[in-house]
Amino acid sequence: MRLTKSFLIFLTIIIIPNFIYSETNSIIIDAAKIELNRTMEGLKYKELPPYYLSYYIYDSHIFNIEAEDGKIVNNDDNKSRTLDIDLRVGSYKFDNTHIVRGEAFNMGSQRNAFQLPLDDNITAIRNAIWFATDQNYKKAIESYERVLTNTTIKVQEEDTSADFTKENPYTYFENPKTVNVDKKFWEDRLRKISSILSTESWLYKNKTYMTVGLVTKYFVNSEGSEITQSEIRANVVLTASTKADDGMSLPLYKVYFAFNPDSLPDERTMLNDARELVKTLAQLRTAPIMTTYTGPAILSGEAAGVFFHEIFGHRVEGHRLKDPDNSQTFKNFLNSKILPEFLSVTFDPTIRYLNNFPVSGYYKYDDEGVLAQKINCVENGIFENFLMSRSPVEKFPESNGHGRKQAGMNAVSRQSNLIVESNRTVPVDSLKEMLREECKKQGLEYGLLFKKVEGGFTFTSRSIPNSFNVNPLIVYKVYVDKKPDEIVRGVDLIGTPLTTFSNILASGNNLETFNGICGAESGSVPVSASSPSLLVSRIEVQKKAKSQAKPPILDAP
């Protein structure tokens, strides 16, 4: 199951002026290089020597402020330095990471992150790297024995490609960034926002938080790569929820993302958005419940972005083609039509802004030290490419810079900045009229407009139906007879990918972006999804899971 829900678990990082950048950088890189060379050299004559070793060090400073009811709940900042090790024995063709087939609890992707000293003491850092590497080497030897046996006793694999790609070494250095976060300024602002989100007695929950973080990532490997990247990410998230009389919880949120806290929207914008959010919640709590429906719908650009992330993005993550339990939806569609010819889909981690809007799936080098690349997955409706990490698959022997992970996990191919583009657009305002026409054709009284979504999830395993589920927050009924649009609640958008794709009729001339955190087997990574609004001839909605708790018995004090 993949989940893009995580607006509520944004990565946070902070920033403290660091006046000894180059020295710090050299101490971390030096410690890592000394231990890397010592390990490769020292274990060279063992029965199973490592053929590849990389150290990935995340040096992060995270700053987090949280408010509820106009009051501060949390204000902390934390520094950490963690080490990830990728140590492989065997060969590029067959190594200890080879997939083990037929095990019920094969949680192969989990790996420990090791804590490194925060002070720049090369001996202490080397000591921690040494001990962690030894543990990793011992595990690698154990795993290698397991995968050898597993391969012997199981049938020939469908995909016989190698376990690891050969890549060129990369050298890249950027100075660690700095940022100043004015804690008092942000405390004041969050207090004001969360006050608005608790003004009404029926607003039972609210939380407003900001996170700013600086992560400097140091990467060295035995192939000669040496990369230092530094990034700042800032988020402000407003959440509030109420309950309908039938117990249904109704949450809403607003997210702001920027590559620097100074670039976040101003206070006035945030306060206005908070008021707007309360107004929408007021409408939602008395809105009628939507019943099961199948028929035409408009997905706003944001909703369409999440929709593509779930139904398409997770199915073009290349490593899944190796998993014998995966449905591998698009494996046989290479160079075939999967979307209307007016649509193209790209993943571009190299851009920081799209139409002047920051996109959070940006990076220069991926988490396996490979240069990020823009990938055209669908060109004019024709499927052309998968997103690749350093785990090659048949016909795709190289990484295209999409190996990503959270600290402490194993990298797999993951999405970056997903962009749906259309070469045949209609003015976005005319989509409603087209929706009404489509409803008339199908003999329906109304169609649906999905304006805002919370996230979604999808299943790609063969053992369960390959459906997706997108969780809408704001949905309108658009009536054929031009009655005013009516807000409704209580449904999820569901379906299966190939059928839903074939139902896309038209796209608007707008582009909206959803910045979020995507969770999958390699952990949580920041992604974005941008799309024009889409008109779909047939979607299906099902009833949302609902809380059974009554609203509070007594009125607010």
* Site residues (vs other proteins, CB under 8 A): 34-35, 38-39, 42-43, 46, 67-76, 78-80, 115-119, 121, 123-128, 130-131, 134-135, 137-138, 198, 204-205, 243, 247, 249, 547-550, 552-554, 556-557
Minimum CB–partner distance for residue 145 and other proteins (Å): 14
Q: Which is nearer to other proteins, 77 or 95 (CB)?
A: 77
For residue 435, CA distances in Å to 148, 342, 428 come to 57, 18, 11
Tokens of 72: 């501060």
Question: Whole-number minimum distance, CB 118 to other proteins, in Å?
Answer: 5
- Nearest distance, CB of residue 53 and other proteins, angstroms: 12
* For other proteins, the closer CB: 483 or 550: 550
Residue among 73, 81, 67, 85 at smallest CA distance from 13 = 81
Q: Nearest approach, Cβ of 355 to other proteins (angstroms)?
A: 36
- Among the residues of 471-542, which ranges form H helices? 497-502
Nearest approach, Cβ of residue 549 and other proteins (Å): 4
Measured from the CB atom, the residue of 24 and 260 that comes closer to other proteins is 24
**Long-range contacts of 290-294, Cβ-Cβ distance < 8 Å, separation of 24 or more:** 290/448, 290/475, 290/477, 290/488, 290/489, 290/490, 290/491, 290/541, 291/543, 292/491, 292/540, 292/541, 292/542, 292/543, 293/448, 293/491, 293/540, 293/541, 294/538, 294/539, 294/540, 294/541
**Buried b or exposed e, range 210-235, using 16+ CB within 10 angstroms:** bbbbbbbbbbbbbeebbbbbbbbbbb
Q: Are the C-beta atoms of residues 503 and 472 closer than 8 Å to each other?
A: no
Residue type, 76: D
Separation of alpha carbons 208 and 277, rounded Å: 12
CB of 103 to other proteins, least distance (A): 20
- Least distance in Å: CB of 19 to other proteins? 17
From the CB of 68, what's the least distance to other proteins, in Å? 5
Min dist CB 246 to other proteins, Å, is 13
CB of 548 closer than 8 Å to CB of 247: yes
Neighbours of 481 (CB within 10 A): 7
Handedness of CA 412, 406, 14, 56 (dihedral sign): negative
The answer to whether 532 touches 420, Cβ cutoff 8 Å, is: yes
- Picking from 128, 26, 22, the residue whose alpha carbon sits closest to that of residue 85 is 128
- Provide the minimum distance between the beta carbon of 117 and other proteins in the complex, in angstroms, as a whole number: 4
Q: Where are the alpha helices (DSSP H) in 467-527?
A: 497-502
Nearer residue to other proteins within complex by CB, 247 or 397: 247
- Which residue lies nearer to other proteins by CB, 186 or 365? 186
| Nearest C-alpha neighbor of 407 from the set 138, 132, 11 | 11
Nearer to other proteins, 115 or 168 (CB): 115
Give the residue with the Cβ less far from other proteins, 82 or 509.
Answer: 82
Nearer CB in complex with other proteins: 104/553: 553
Give the nearer residue to other proteins in terms of CB position, either 141 or 505. 141
For tokens 């899944």, name the residue. Answer: 320
Please state the closest distance from residue 547 (CB atom) to other proteins, in A: 4
Establish how many alpha carbons lie within 13 A of residue 58's alpha carbon, considering only the half-sphere containing its beta carbon: 26
Q: Which is nearer to other proteins, 1 or 556 (CB)?
A: 556
Tokens, residue 171: 């050298």
98 φψ region: left (φ > 0), alpha (ψ -120 to 50), beta (else): beta
Q: How far is the CB of 258 from other proteins (least distance, A)?
A: 25
Nearer residue to other proteins within complex by CB, 153 or 549: 549
Name residues whose C-beta falls within 8 Å of residue 216's C-beta, 6 or more positions apart in sequence.
25, 58, 59, 60, 176, 177, 228, 229, 230, 231
- In the chain, % helix, strand, coil (3-state, to 5) comes to 25, 35, 40
Which is nearer to other proteins, 2 or 126 (by Cβ)? 126
